[in-house]
Structure 1
Amino acid sequence: MYDRILVPTDGSPSAEAAARHGLVIAEAFDASLHVISVTGDTERSERLADAQAQDAISKLAELIEQESDLSCQSAIEHGRPHEAILSYSSENDIDLIVMGTHGRRGLSRVLLGSVTERVIRLSNDPVLAVPPHAIGREREGYDRILIPTDGSPGAAAAVEHGISIAERSGASVRVLYVIEGETGLPPIGDSLRDEAVEVLEAVTEEASDRDVSLTTHIQPGTPHEVINNFVSAHGIDLVTMGTHGRSGIRRHLLGSVTERVLRTSDAPVLTVRQDTE
């Protein structure tokens, strides 16, 4: 599933944390790592910008060399950061992009308008967004993976990614269906609850021949709040979600459940587009 993993860096602690999470997945799939740094169009001194970019790359390359035997390629790219990242990903057949949710500007817990947010909106590849609170949590690997689903094709696209990572890393999987707008679970036999059960049974069936421990959960409430509370309550290490669900807002994340989870999650969030394989 993942043969080539891209980690963009600006030299920030957030980028280093993302690289460590990328390393966990790369080792699980025996993937190669690509590390790039992008110098923007507005840099005053090209020589200074390139030196800073090279320093950022060298830090991550050294980290990867010290902690794994995986191959690592590096490059300095020029231009608008999100465009350069997407272009490199396309030209090098990247399977996964791993990024921190904030960089040198320090926009902690605010994804809107950032490079990472733009990459997530436009990428054809899965993107793993690593928030500040996930720093250091990757050292033990992934033990518990959460897959929220509403049964839509967009949500289903993330199921295979979550199950595959769990299978490779030995993690257990929790699959969560949120019945939106309810203050309590509808009774058995109610159409909303029946639909939730049907969706979760389909995921269970999909994972039935895989070496993965999987449990399903139905909870009422506001989806992004329920998801984030579940992450905290169950010590979730990784969330995998589609970039759009039933609302069908293709290639536009703003206002969606996924976007709200990305803004507030304490765990890394892997976003997957519907047509990502």
Structure 2
Amino acid sequence: MYDRILVPTDGSPSAEAAARHGLVIAKAVDASVHVISVAGETERTERLAEAQARDAISKLEELIEQESDRSCHSALEHGSPYEAILSYASENDIDLIVMGTHGRRGLSRVLLGSVTERVIRLSNDPVLAVPPHAIGREREGYDKILVPTDGSPGATAAVEHGIAIAERLGAAVRVLCAIEGERGLPPVGDPLRDEAVEVLEAVSERAADRNVTLTTHVQPGTPHEVINEFVSAHGIDLITMGTHGRSGIRRHLLGSVTERVLRTSDAPVLTVRQDTE
């Protein structure tokens, strides 16, 4: 599944939290861990930038050694952080990138860290984005995984990742389809409801021979709000979703639902591009 997991770090608590979440998956799938820190172009001096990057790497190396038996490969790169991360991932056959959503500069809750956002938009690999509210929650493991779907190819790719992770971690999968613009569920026989049921049945068939407990849900409302409310109501530990839904979108942009969930979710979000299934 995932053989090599990359954890970029800038030494922030968010990066450390991401590393802990990455270790949960690395242990489950028996993956090696790669740690990268980038001495960015806008740092005050090159010497200071390198010192900060080396310190950030050392912290994660120590954490990984103390909390797992995973092999760890480290690298210090220079230049634009998101470009260096994407380049390293490509050159080292990385299967999953795990990042905090907020770096040393912080940023308000409604914004993603710019480096994380760019990596998610441009990466060929799945990216697990870990928000501040998920700090510490990885110690309880992933028991409940939510897979929102609209039946699009991007969502279908994310379904496969969600089911595969659940198999390895012994987690239950909740599959959710939101019917947008409805105050209540349409009656049985309504085309919108029938379509949602067909989407969920296709997921159930996909998981029929897999060793996972899977339940399906149809709920009305604005998709990102439905997803976030479901996360809170059901104690979801991980969301897996495609970077693009039915509306499609250019490669360098995210689908609007995915982007809103990334900006507001309290749970880690694994984003999957259609061709990474």
Q: Give the TM interval when normalised to the shorter protein.
A: over 0.9
The unaligned stretches of length 5 or more in structure 2 are none
Instruction: Name the amino acid aligned to 1:140.
Output: E
Is the 1:243–1:251 contact (alpha carbons within 8 Å) kept by the matching residues of 2?
no
Equivalences for 1:4-15 in 2 at 5 Å?
4-15=4-15
TM, length-normalised to structure 1: 0.98
How many residues were matched structurally? 277
3-state SS, counterpart of residue 77 of structure 1: strand
Tell me, in whole angstroms, the C-alpha distance in 2 between the residues paired with 1:56 and 1:112.
20
Tell me, in whole angstroms, the C-alpha distance in 2 between the residues paired with 1:142 and 1:232.
15
Is the 2:227–2:261 contact (alpha carbons within 8 Å) kept by the matching residues of 1?
yes
Is the 2:243–2:258 contact (alpha carbons within 8 Å) kept by the matching residues of 1?
yes
Q: Deviations over 1:187-226 (max 9, x none)?
A: 0011111111111000001001010000000000000000
Is the 2:102–2:112 contact (alpha carbons within 8 Å) kept by the matching residues of 1?
no
Structure 2 residue 212 is the aligned partner of structure 1 residue 219 = no
Is the 1:177–1:200 contact (alpha carbons within 8 Å) kept by the matching residues of 2?
yes
Structure 2 residue 55 is the aligned partner of structure 1 residue 55 = yes
Tell me, in whole angstroms, the C-alpha distance in 2 between the residues paired with 1:18 and 1:142.
14
Structure 2 residue 146 is the aligned partner of structure 1 residue 154 = no
Q: How much does 1:112 deviate?
A: 4.6
Is the 2:245–2:255 contact (alpha carbons within 8 Å) kept by the matching residues of 1?
no
Is the 2:130–2:267 contact (alpha carbons within 8 Å) kept by the matching residues of 1?
yes
Range 116-125 or range 43-52, more displaced? 43-52
Q: How much does 1:61 deviate?
A: 0.6
Structure 2 residue 101 is the aligned partner of structure 1 residue 101 = yes
Tell me, in whole angstroms, the C-alpha distance in 2 between the residues paired with 1:3 and 1:112.
27
Equivalences for 1:103-142 in 2 at 5 Å?
103-112=103-112, 114-142=114-142
3-state SS, counterpart of residue 274 of structure 2: coil
Q: Please name the residue that 1:92 is paired with.
A: 92
3-state SS, counterpart of residue 224 of structure 1: helix
CA RMSD of aligned residues (A): 1.0
Q: Deviations over 1:36-57 (max 9, x none)?
A: 1001112232122111111100
Is the 1:5–1:26 contact (alpha carbons within 8 Å) kept by the matching residues of 2?
yes
Q: Please name the residue that 1:206 is paired with.
A: 206
The unaligned stretches of length 5 or more in structure 1 are none
Range 113-122 or range 137-146, more displaced? 113-122
3-state SS, counterpart of residue 276 of structure 2: coil
Q: How much does 1:140 deviate?
A: 1.2
Tell me, in whole angstroms, the C-alpha distance in 1 between the residues paired with 2:178 and 2:32.
36
Is the 2:243–2:255 contact (alpha carbons within 8 Å) kept by the matching residues of 1?
no
Q: Please name the residue that 1:144 is paired with.
A: 144
TM, length-normalised to structure 2: 0.98
